[in-house]
Structures are given as C-alpha cells and as structure tokens.
Structure 1
Amino acid sequence: MRRRAILIGPVTALIGGVIPRAVRARAPTLPVIGYLGSETPERAASRLEAFRGGLADTGFVEGRDVAIAFRWADGRYERLPALAKELAGSGIAVLVAPGGAPVVLAARAATETIPIVFEMGGDPVVLGVVDDLARPRGNLTGVSSLSVEVSNKRLELMRELFPTSAALAVAVNPTSPTASSQVAGLRASAGTLGLQLHVLEASREDEFETLSTAPRRLGVPGLVFTSDPFFAYRSAHLAILVSRHGLPAITQSRDFPIAGGLLSYGGDFTQTHRQAGHYAGRLLRGEKPRDLPVQLVTKVELFANVRAATRLGVTLPPSILSSADVVIE
C-alpha cells in the first residue's frame, strides 16, 4: 500500500489542482512593458487602443505575449518622476512614455539602461531628449507629431475667423516644459498679424471656468489653446465650458470639435500612439533604441464644427471650410 501511495501521489496532486514546484518553475513568464501615463485610463482610452494596435502589428498581444504595468498620474505632472522610478525598478523590459514632454523627461531621468519609447508633440532634439533623430544613441527612441510647432497656425486660423479683431487670447499650461517656447512663438506671430495677445494660464481643472469666461471680460472674441496633453485629454470638458459661455475656441485635439467645440488643428494622435506601440514591440524583439530612428508623423489635421459655429453665431470662412480635413455638420 505504501508503494502504491507513492506512485499515485503526484497524479493525485495534479488532479486535485496542486501544481508541483518543478512544474511551476517551467511556466513561461511574459515580458512586461511599463506604461507611464500622465492621465487616467479612461481619458487615454482611444490612445491606448491605438498603442495596443501597434503592439499587435509586431505580434504582441497583451495578456498573451506581453504584460503591461500601468502607472497613471491623473493629470498631476509632479507625480510623474516618482511613478517613472517605480516602474524602472519593477523589472520591466521596455518603458513607454506617451503623452508629451513631461512624461518622457520623467522617464529619461528614471533610467539610463531600460529601453524607452516616447510619444510627444514637441521637438525631441530641442528638448534634449535625443541628440539626433536618425540615430538617437542612448536608450530612447520614439515618435513625435511636432504638434507643438503648429500653435502659431491655430492663432492664424482664429485670426481668419475674426479678421478685424485687435486682440485674441491664448491658453497655456505653465507647468508644461514647452510653455515658454510656445508663448514666445505666439507673441512673435501675433506681432506679425498685428494682434495684441492676452496670455491666460491654467494647470488645474478648477481653473477652466475662469479660463472660459476671461476672454469676454477682456473684450476678445476667441481663445487659442497651446499644445499640451493636459488640455488635449480634457477636450470634452473644455468643449462644454466654452460652448456654455459662447466662446469660439481652437485646440490641438480632434476630440474638441467632436465634443461640440468649434475648431481643432494638430497632429493625428492615433498615428503617433500606434507607432509607439510598434516600436515597443520591436524593442521587445531585441532591437536597440539607437537603431530605431525617431519617427516624425507630419500629418496635421483640421477639424471644423459647423453646428458649433451656428450655435456661437459665427461664420466659418471658405478658407477654413475648404482646407478642413473633416467638417462636422
């Protein structure tokens, strides 16, 4: 009886659901991507879908071939450095830093060895993220839409809407690393257009109400948002507020006119996030960041909401309607 018990013991254990230690040791371990998000998974849902699509293009499906460890800052940029260090110390294979300069700068400060894929709107060379676009060297590569560079064009579009206005307002997040350069560029552009520029600051959602009412108090007809993930991820909220206060405005994200705002002009975030996912997959396969050139997604899209224009009592000029990629009627 004793010999029989010894012979059937392991089989009984397996049938009973207890996996022997030797079998457990042979179970495969999935590689882990660390994902440093500046917002929340709800606000980033469409961008996450694009990222996962790019990852799948290289053969990696979350839960099957790779695991993703997320850390979210909920719009509080000051939390990003600690979250980046937490991810870097958790044994991840690749660190993904999407959503703009604050995220990638925090990721770069957290590790010099783990491969990093960034997604941003600013110029990564100007910001000191990489030395060269073609050969990034270091442990970083990624994709940029250069959407920060088109803030001036938003001012020009608003000028087309109000050609006789002497002044316009711009919204800037003072905590953004690109804030000063964008404001400097906008001031120069305003001078060329013969405009006075009122700079309004907002870095918290509880400041949006004042941001939406200040232009009217200043006697200016429209508001131009600078490029910043903090504004882009809150497009729906901003669209509701400016509509309530009858304020024509233009932002970088298509989500703004889709939610009822007037205009948007900026890069296609679905392309940049999909490319970031593609690069993350290539790094998981063993390629080195230094061998992956920084990708520039140069497509810039203009969305115009005719229904919003009617509601606001403004007329979109033919120059805007004819050049718009999407007209919402």
Structure 2
Amino acid sequence: MKTWTVGALLALVFCIGLSPAVSAKMIRIGEHQIVAHPALDNDSKGFKAALEEEGFIEGQNITIDRQNAQGEQPNCFIIAQKFVDDRVDLVHAISTPNAQASVKASKSIPIVFSSVTDPVSTGIIPLMGETGTYVTGVSDRWPITLQCRMYKNLVPGATRWGTIYNPGDINVTYHIKEMKEAVEAMGDKLVEAHVSTTAEVMQAAESLVGRVDAIHITSDNTCVSAFESIVKICNANDIPLFAGDRDSVPRGAVAAYGPDYFLIGYTAGKQAARILRGEDPGKIPAGLASDYSLWVSFKHADAQGLALPETLVRKAADKLWDKDGNVVKGK
C-alpha cells in the first residue's frame, strides 16, 4: 500500500483547488513599448488590469518583463530577440515598431499588439479580424478627418495648421497623409516640421512660429514623449495646440478627440488572457479601438491666447477643465 505524507496530501489538495482556467505554471510575458509617455503607459496599465480580472496576477502566476526602446527603433529588435531567447510565453507589443520587430523575431510565440495605427499595411497581420496567424491585437487608428474638422470649429480663423512628426516612424505617416487631405479639403494648408529624436522637438516647434495659426500633433511617439517642449513654445507665442491622444490635454493641449489608451491596453489584455487559456491567436479577431471622446482645457486655451466658444465646448466636451485647471465635467 502506498503511504501518503502530510505534505503530499496538502500538495494534492492545493492542486485540486486550483482553477482549471489558470495554470499553476509561472507564465512569462514580455512587454515592450517604443518610448514612455502617458498614452502608451496607460496602454500597459490597461493590459495588466485585464489580465488581473482574468486571474493572471503578476507575481503570483505570471511575470511581466517590461522593456522600453527609448525611442530607438533598433532597440525594438534587440528586445524582441531577447524575448525569443528567454522563451517567453506571450509578447505584448505596444506601438508599430515593437510589433514589427516581434513578428520578425519569432514565428511561433503568440503576439498581442496594441497602439498600432495600421497593422495590415505595416506587415504585422495579413488582415483585420481573424488573422490566421500567431498574432492579434488592437489598432489605435484615429478619426483624423473628424479631429481636423472638430479643431477647426474651435479655431475657425485658423487656415495654416502646423504639425511635427518623425518621418522615420511608419506608424505616423498614415495619419499625416490623412491629416493633409483633411486640412486641404477644408481649404486650409498643412505646414510640416520633421524630427528624428526628442531633442529636436523644441527646435521644430520654434520653426513653426509665425508660419502657422495652430498646431495639431498626431500619433507621433517622438513628439508625444517631448510634448511639454511643444507646449512651452505654443504658450509663449499664442499658438493653440491640439492633440489626438486625450492624455496630452492635462499636459498642455487645448483639446483632443481620441480613444482611451487604457481601454486599448485593456482590450489587448483580454485577448492575451484568451491565448493563455489555450485559444488560437489566429482565431481571436484583431480589431479597432472604440469609445472616442473629447477632452478640452479652458486653462490651456487661455495660456495659448484662444477664446473658446464656451457654450459649444461645455455641451460637446466629455471631460472639461476650467480656467483654473479644475475638472468641471467628466471623470
């Protein structure tokens, strides 16, 4: 007859008590983003929150190796290869360069991307919906045309719109093309300034002074990570500043109509949980971000010499800051 020790019996009881949906194995996740700024950071936070809701708790049954490429695209490939060498169970790639690097580095590790503008044109997936590959995720493609029209309503006298971006970031080139078409369709002109690093952003903003009536920053991670530099120039020269990610409004933008990046990461986290439970990534549909909303700051409008149409703004804004910087509408 086999003899059972107390320790063995306790171990058996523990194993039986585990949820069948969550493995007792310590699951390893590799997460990397192109640069640190509030939108992408909120993406990461949403991803973690969704995993926790599904029973995947960091430090208990999963580990997350978080890496930052510091704005350097070559670093994305180094990080992606590190995850392959470490044999992680899943990769969360935040932004286009990170997702591209992960897809190139591995043909078998499940990859969930987020905050990627056009995952099809950039070769990350063959199509939206069920991809039939080991990759799925959430696109953050913005409603550029609607943004341009909305910002024009807030500054009806503006005819020269400035923007700053890194032409080496393929993620943003699609937005710039759409922005140019939208601005010209309104009978206005788009004035571009190019950068390759965050150190060049302030100088680029200065180059637009006297040449533009307002500035609209799109999904350029280089500029968003140095957003305060643009704010400084706009405040000093009475140039209204608009953004596409809502997290830039507390940082100094007058307004932004865009998605909730926490929700983008949260949706990606739900996809990841399904994969970790055994589902095929290729059968989990890749989709678009949703739930856009308008954030507006009277304080920043004042700082940039803009008199906003108060009745319109108070009615349209989902979240609103008064002239003292207090939130008076929304959460």
Q: Count matched residues.
A: 298
Amino acid at match of 2:43: R
One of 25, 33, 51 as aligned partner of 1:55: 51
Does the 8 A contact of 2:116 with 2:141 survive in 1?
yes
Residues 234/280 of structure 1: CA separation in 2 closer, same or farther (3 Å cut): farther
Post-superposition offset of 1:241: 4.7
Post-superposition offset of 1:292: 0.8
One of 166, 180, 196 as aligned partner of 2:173: 180
Q: Which residue of structure 2 lines up, in the alignment, with residue 212 of structure 1? A: 205
Residues 88/207 of structure 1: CA separation in 2 closer, same or farther (3 Å cut): same
Does the 8 A contact of 1:235 with 1:253 survive in 2?
no
Does residue 77 of the first structure (1) align with residue 69 of the second (2)? no
One of 285, 296, 300 as aligned partner of 1:293: 285
Q: Which residue of structure 2 lines up, in the alignment, with residue 104 of structure 1? A: 99
Question: How far apart, in 2, do the equivalents of 1:236 and 1:55 lie?
Answer: 32
Does the 8 A contact of 1:145 with 1:268 survive in 2?
no
Question: How far apart, in 2, do the equivalents of 1:280 and 1:237 lie?
Answer: 36
Q: Please give the root-mean-square deviation of Cα atoms over the aligned residues, in Å.
A: 2.3
Mapping of 1:269-308 within 5 angstroms? 269-308=261-300
Mapping of 1:156-171 within 5 angstroms? 156-171=149-164
Unaligned segments of structure 2, at least 5 residues: 1-23, 323-331
| Range moving further from structure 2, 100-109 or 125-134 | 125-134
Post-superposition offset of 1:29: 5.0
Residues 231/49 of structure 1: CA separation in 2 closer, same or farther (3 Å cut): same
What TM-score do you get using the length of structure 2 for normalisation? Answer: 0.82
Q: Which residue of structure 1 lines up, in the alignment, with residue 31 of structure 2? A: 35
Residues 208/321 of structure 1: CA separation in 2 closer, same or farther (3 Å cut): farther
Mapping of 1:207-246 within 5 angstroms? 207-218=200-211, 220-236=212-228, 238-246=230-238
Q: Which residue of structure 2 lines up, in the alignment, with residue 25 of structure 1? A: none
Residues 186/216 of structure 1: CA separation in 2 closer, same or farther (3 Å cut): same
Structure 1 SS opposite 2:271: helix
Question: How far apart, in 2, do the equivalents of 1:115 and 1:216 lie?
Answer: 46
Residues 262/85 of structure 1: CA separation in 2 closer, same or farther (3 Å cut): same
Q: Which residue of structure 1 lines up, in the alignment, with residue 192 of structure 2? A: 199
Residues 42/212 of structure 1: CA separation in 2 closer, same or farther (3 Å cut): closer
Post-superposition offset of 1:55: 0.8
One of 256, 260, 268 as aligned partner of 2:260: 268
Question: How far apart, in 1, do the equivalents of 2:291 and 2:37 lie?
Answer: 26
Question: How far apart, in 2, do the equivalents of 1:189 and 1:225 lie?
Answer: 14
Q: Which residue of structure 1 lines up, in the alignment, with residue 248 of structure 2? A: 256
Deviations 1:189-215 (A, max 9, x none): 222111122111123221121232222
Post-superposition offset of 1:246: 3.3
Structure 2 SS opposite 1:63: coil
Does the 8 A contact of 2:39 with 2:247 survive in 1?
no
Deviations 1:246-290 (A, max 9, x none): 321111222221123211122110101111122222211211101
- Select the structure of larger CA radius of gyration: 1
Post-superposition offset of 1:53: 0.4
Deviations 1:96-154 (A, max 9, x none): 101x211211111111100000002413233332223221111100112322xx23333
Q: Which residue of structure 2 lines up, in the alignment, with residue 119 of structure 1? A: 114
What TM-score do you get using the length of structure 1 for normalisation? Answer: 0.83
Does the 8 A contact of 2:201 with 2:223 survive in 1?
no
Percent identity, aligned pairs only?
Answer: 22
Does the 8 A contact of 1:143 with 1:295 survive in 2?
yes
Does the 8 A contact of 1:174 with 1:203 survive in 2?
yes
Unaligned segments of structure 1, at least 5 residues: 1-27
Does the 8 A contact of 1:41 with 1:72 survive in 2?
no
| Range moving further from structure 2, 275-284 or 86-95 | 275-284
Residues 241/65 of structure 1: CA separation in 2 closer, same or farther (3 Å cut): farther
Residues 191/45 of structure 1: CA separation in 2 closer, same or farther (3 Å cut): closer
Question: How far apart, in 1, do the equivalents of 2:292 and 2:63 lie?
Answer: 32
Residues 240/277 of structure 1: CA separation in 2 closer, same or farther (3 Å cut): farther
Does the 8 A contact of 1:158 with 1:222 survive in 2?
no
Q: Which residue of structure 1 lines up, in the alignment, with residue 306 of structure 2? A: 314
Deviations 1:33-59 (A, max 9, x none): 011221249985433322210111211
Structure 2 SS opposite 1:164: coil
Post-superposition offset of 1:180: 3.1
One of 135, 147, 167 as aligned partner of 1:140: 135
